[in-house]
Chains A and B, each alone.
Chain A
Amino acid sequence: AQKITQTQPGMFVQEKEAVTLDCTYDTSDQSYGLFWYKQPSSGEMIFLIYQGSYDEQNATEGRYSLNFQKARKSANLVISASQLGDSAMYFCAMTAKAAGNKLTFGGGTRVLVKP
């Protein structure tokens, strides 16, 4: 079974600053994938970034980067140059080889960007 833990229920960040959202995971699978999603108040889950367990380099997508530390089983999301539109819930999720497309989500972190 897979488990995702997000220990920060909520946080404030100043506009234009960087913010790191923590995510730790647990799985017995050697082959797994890690995802980050953004959920604004509208409810839609927006894909941000993906990291495979065998990827040697940290994933980056524009202002988003994933700090993957396999030995520590952590997959923190870094958002650089925060914008007001970044205010939302952020979910870390994972899937494993045995789970196919099934995503296991963490509890989420609410980010509020202050002007």
Chain B
Amino acid sequence: KAGVTQTPRYLIKTRGQQVTLSCSPISGHRSVSWYQQTPGQGLQFLFEYFSETQRNKGNFPGRFSGRQFSNSRSEMNVSTLELGDSALYLCASSSYVASGGLNTGELFFGEGSRLTVL
């Protein structure tokens, strides 16, 4: 069973540019969530998509956006890049096994996309 695939693995951009990151979840998983990891802020939740709908959103500016396609693949976009956007962006997929409203399924992470903004 293939794991979560994120592309590209590494990329370098300059301030003001925009970037699109891609995530292919595990086959059959309909939930995809994104996280930003930085040395200063740690791991922070960006957003979650389930069946092409954004179901949850973290506290990030509108420059951060995402979408999910009918095959559950997801993309996130960051516009007008800032130096502080340099981070490891992790994608996680889940089959969303709910027990009394609480997700008890494992979240499987990809290896991440490491973005450097110069």
Tell whether, in the assembled complex, residue A97 and residue B102 are in contact, meaning their CB atoms are under 8 Å apart: yes
Number of chain A residues close to chain B: CB under 8 A: 28
In the complex, the chain B residue whose C-beta lies closest to that of A48 is: B106
Report yes or no: A43 in contact with B114, Cβ–Cβ below 8 A.
Answer: yes
Min distance, Cβ B40 to any Cβ of chain A, angstroms: 11
B74 at interface, CB cutoff 8 A = no
CA of A100 to CA of B43 in the docked complex: distance in angstroms? Answer: 17
Stretch from B12-20, B76-84, B86-94 at the A interface: B86-94
Of the listed stretches A16-24, A63-71, A73-81, A103-111, name the one at the interface; the rest are far from the partner chain. A103-111
Query: Quick check: is B112 within 8 A (CB to CB) of the other chain?
Result: yes
CA distance A37 to B55 in the complex (A): 23
Question: When the two chains form their complex, are residues B56 and A52 in contact, meaning their CB atoms are under 8 A apart?
Answer: no
Give the B interface residue count (CB, 8 A): 31
Q: A-B contact count, CB below 8 Å? A: 74
A105, closest chain B residue (CB): B43
Complex Cα–Cα for A33 and B99 (A): 11
Measured CA separation A45–B109 after assembly (Å): 5
Question: Residues of A at under 8 Å CB distance from B?
Answer: 31-33, 35, 37, 42-47, 50, 52, 91, 93, 95-97, 99-108
20 further contact pairs, Cβ within 8 A, besides A47-B108, A101-B50, A102-B48: A32-B102, A44-B111, A45-B90, A45-B92, A45-B109, A47-B106, A47-B109, A50-B106, A52-B102, A97-B100, A100-B48, A100-B56, A101-B31, A101-B56, A101-B103, A103-B45, A104-B45, A105-B35, A105-B43, A106-B42
